[in-house]
């Protein structure tokens, strides 16, 4: 029997998270608080936020909440072209982590007590740059409006990641310019 989807994201929590995404200056603190906020606000087991390395074709953990170190260190998370909604830039839902061919480490999920998972791609300029994974310890009938809310939050996060990347790049360029000999800065 299919469970009826229950909404978990309401305007109050959504607004609080949107405000945090737009106002935090420290990116690392923001990511840590987001993982915790997603877990607590939506009453789920845990959350991890990962960024994609194009060269390695692998996701790297940036922050998590509610998930053990043992599970987080289970092994690399490769992006599989065959099954991955990540490649298409669409949310992916896994109802049964132990019996889904898309899951790379089903035994680790069972030991961790993770039953279902929602993956939401983080995009910047329509390019997938990361992933938010929402883990639940019980079967989950996810509400479509919750998926839409997570999409919006992930898009905002993508903009913040891009902003911080550009900001870091400009700071590096400015530092390099400041360290150039004065003779190189003079106009002929």
Q: Which domains does the chain show, CATH number per domain?
A: 11-179 (3.30.450.40)
Q: Rounded to whole angstroms, how far apart are CA atoms 33 and 148?
A: 21
CA 6 to chain centre: 22
Do residues 11 and 29 make contact, with C-beta atoms less than 8 angstroms apart?
no
pLDDT at residue 185 is higher than 70: no
Tokens of 55: 């060269």
Find the range with the poorest average confidence among 72-81, 91-100, 116-125: 72-81
CB 121 within 8 A of CB 128: yes
Q: Is the pLDDT of residue 21 over 90?
A: no
Q: How would residue 1 be classed by pLDDT, with cut points 50, 70 and 90? A: very low
User: Which has the higher per-residue pLDDT, 168 or 37?
Assistant: 37
Average pLDDT rounded to a whole number, residues 156-169:
79
Q: Which whole-number Å values give the CA distances from 26 to 22, 23, 167, 184, in the listed order?
A: 11, 9, 12, 34
Please write down the HEC assignment for all residues of the chain. Answer: CCCCCECCCCHHHHHHHHHHHHHCCCHHHHHHHHHHHHHHHCCCCEEEEEEEECCCCEEEEEEEECCCHHHHCCCCEECCCCCCHHHHCCCEEECCHHHCCCCCCHHHHHHHCCCEEEEEEEEECCEEEEEEEEEECCCCCECHHHHHHHHHHHHHHHHHHHHHHHHHHHHHHHHHHHCCCHHHHCCC
Instruction: Determine phi and psi for 78, rounding to 5 degrees.
Output: -90, 150
The answer to whether the beta carbons of residues 40 and 180 sit under 8 Å apart is no
- CA dist 55 → 17, 33, 59, 74, 144 (Å): 31, 28, 11, 21, 33
User: What pLDDT is recorded for position 25?
Assistant: 80
Residue with tokens 């003079």: 186
Residues 53-81 have pLDDT tens digits of 888 888 999 999 999 999 999 988 888 66
Specify the pTM: 0.81
Of the two residues 185 and 160, the one the predictor is more confident about is 160
């Amino acid at each position: 029997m299919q469970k009826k989807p229950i909404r978990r994201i309401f305007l109050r929590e959504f607004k609080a998270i949107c405000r945090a995404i737009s106002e935090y200056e420290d990116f690392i603190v923001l990511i840590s608080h987001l993982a915790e906020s997603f877990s607590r606000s939506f009453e789920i087991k845990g959350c991890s936020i990962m960024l994609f390395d194009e060269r390695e074709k692998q996701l790297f953990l940036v922050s998590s909440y509610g998930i053990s170190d043992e599970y987080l260190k289970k092994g690399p998370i490769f992006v599989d072209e065959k099954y991955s909604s990540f490649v298409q830039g669409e949310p992916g839902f896994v109802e049964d982590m132990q019996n889904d061919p898309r899951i790379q480490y089903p035994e680790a999920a069972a030991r961790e007590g993770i039953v279902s998972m929602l993956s939401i791609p983080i995009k910047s300029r329509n390019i997938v740059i990361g992933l938010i994974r929402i883990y639940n310890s019980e079967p989950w009938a996810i509400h479509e409006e919750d998926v839409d809310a997570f999409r919006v939050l992930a898009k905002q996060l993508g903009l913040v990641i891009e902003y911080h990347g550009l900001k870091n790049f400009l700071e590096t360029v400015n530092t390099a310019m400041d360290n150039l000999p004065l003779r190189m800065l003079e106009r002929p």
